[in-house]
A and B are shown apart, each in its own frame.
Chain A
């Protein structure tokens, strides 16, 4: 039950984009079409979950052993960047289909702040391994939810009569702000 509560909290209540404002760059960049936003969302789930596993191991086995917790950020960036590169190569060779679907998105999220944010939060909140996994999956699923919803809104905006000064990114940012306010409605939700 606690795990479920953790999932819902990270999924909706503390939505990574609308509440924590992490990963806003890909959120605005890759949300023009629903198709590509789904691809991006799934790639984020994939990378964040994998990064959470590796960084958790690095934190527990290396950093804490040597008393080097203060090097967390730079060590995690290093590890995640190498990891994503590795995964990209691995996919290219072993599963071209999956590479076609996710390949273009993988470099985009190599050292994205969303990835780094989640893995660091996992450590600072002192989650155990299972909790860290649930938190990572929940948070990245929240990213998928946010970006797909937003892509839907943007596809509608495309056909709307937007004032000249607000066309393009400006109206997208306004819409993102309004969606963020809507997500405020979830704050304080307790399960």
Chain B
């Protein structure tokens, strides 16, 4: 009798709960777009957030609703973009791939130091003390927080300076978020001419702390035939749309703060 009662009550509860859920799943049914699931399956699933949406699910929703283009995922390759485009019935189009770049050349052998830092080897911890040990408070500290967050092994610390391998960079943007100095920026993959300095102080102030910093002398601006480089806030900036990679500015820069591939000229 006891067993029957126990089974009856518990079974009754179970059936009741099951029935409730079954009814609820009909009443509260939310249509999930089949496209969302298909797109989601193609996306890499790294949830890196480089697309600007909250994770791959967020992007899949946005693509399915047409709020984001089929090639919005910077990590997925062209093949994947085409697969997504096929689901959405559009074409993928060309993306200008961008890569992260450290705009600083102040490696340990070049940069002057305010003091000897012996604390935790962590950029954020170092930056909390007087803005870090390097005299230039805009530059790369070189303790490698970006290297740690990089899931793709694209960042090396060489002589106290972060160097990003543009072949390995998937433009997920984690290093940009992590860097306490904001010394990492986006640069088009195709571009070779980069002003590798982040210091917007006046020329004298920059010269006092670094030998390879941009002093805002405008020599590059005057020598550029294509109107592709301008000094703004005491810092030269390349207009990537206009730059033809003639490398004139790289050669003329008195502090060698513009980085470029000089072999391009030799081959011409």
Contacts and interface: CB of A to CB of B under 8 A. Distances in A.
A106 to B, nearest CB: 14
A82 B9 contact: no
A159 B120 contact: yes
B120 A161 contact: yes
Contacts of B27: 93
Contact of A66 (B5, B29, B122): B5
Given A85-B21, A159-B120, A78 B10 contact: yes
B44 interface: no
B265 interface: no
A173 interface: no
Interface in A143-173: 159-161
Interface in A74-109: 74-75, 78-79, 81-82, 85-86, 89-90, 92-94
B95 interface: no
A121 interface: no
B21 to A, nearest CB: 6
A74 B10 contact: yes
Interface stretch (B12-20, B203-211, B252-260): B12-20
B257 to A, nearest CB: 31
A160 B28 contact: no
14 contacts: A68-B6, A68-B9, A78-B10, A78-B14, A81-B17, A85-B21, A89-B21, A89-B24, A89-B25, A90-B24, A90-B28, A92-B28, A94-B28, A161-B120
Interface of B: 5-6, 9-10, 13-14, 17-18, 20-21, 24-25, 27-30, 119-122, 124-125
Top 6 A-B pairs ranked by shortest CB distance?
Answer: A82-B17, A93-B28, A161-B120, A89-B28, A89-B24, A159-B125
